[in-house]
Amino acid sequence: MLRLQKYLAEAGIASRRRCEDLIRAGRVQVNGCVVRELGTTVNPARDRVEVDGRAVRLEDKTYVMVYKPRGYVTTVHDPRGRRKVTDLVRKVPQRLFPVGRLDYDSEGLLLLTNDGELAYRLTHPRFKISKTYLVTLDRTPDPDTLRRIAAGIVLEDGPTAPCRVRLLRSGKHSALVEITMHEGRNRQVRRMWAALGFEVKRLKRTAVANLELGGLRPGQYRRLQAGEVRRLRELAQLS
């Protein structure tokens, strides 16, 4: 027996948190009855589960790394009709969803999978999964600014956790900074720098946990190797 939200996540419907939202919204049926209780359990071999009237079945676990270009939204559905990261992996037969987010104007490494439990752990702050970004700023930050960013910035949704920051290149009208952090709030990197009066000209994520963007070009993707998946699961404290 599996909890309903976990079963939906393992079937590749969405992350576990998103599956809980679907259940609360009354969009999930078990054996023809709408279920809104998160504690509901199902037997995958016996019970019929549907989301929005479509039957749910377990699929082989699939893990894909994509270079998200700027101008794509990190979502499965977009009511405004914008380009989605899932459009880049249409040749993959499994239904995938993005792990975490990169905002519309940002680019770089993004994971897509149908492994809901792993996706949940990779995005939950308790597991402290690292993410590394290259940040192009409108001017060069001084050492005190770098220390303030590293120590944590107070934002409208609370203080940020400590992170690692280093200046890679400085110039008269721009600078390149590398920042590694464990949090993943909405537009967090941009908001951290904006709080100190800086504008982020370009934001590129280059690494997540043990994975690096490598030679992928914008719009390209590749499947993860077995060893990469094993290491990800170890970092997420999954057996």
Percent pLDDT > 70 in the chain is 100
Q: Averaged over 44-58, what is the pLDDT?
A: 91
pLDDT digits (tens, 9 = 90+) for 157-208: 999 999 999 999 998 889 999 999 999 889 999 999 999 999 999 999 999 9
pLDDT at 172: 83
pTM over 0.85: no
| Catalytic one of 103, 105, 115, 157 | 103
β pairing state of 164-170 and 175-181: antiparallel
CA distance 227 to 210: 10
Q: Would you call 103 a catalytic residue per the annotation?
A: yes
**Residues paired with 158 in a beta bridge:** 155
Percent pLDDT > 90 in the chain is 80
CA 115 vs CA 84, 141, 215, 229: distances in Å: 19, 40, 25, 11
Domains and CATH numbers, the chain: 2-55 (3.10.290.10), 63-125+216-235 (3.30.70.580), 130-208 (3.30.70.1560)
Categorize the per-residue pLDDT at 45 as very low, low, confident or very high, splitting at 50, 70 and 90.
confident
Indicate if the pLDDT at residue 239 is higher than 80.
Answer: no
CA distance 172 to 233: 43
pLDDT digits (tens, 9 = 90+) for 14-23: 888 889 999 9
Neighbours of 184 (CB within 10 A): 18
What is the overall mean pLDDT for the chain?
94
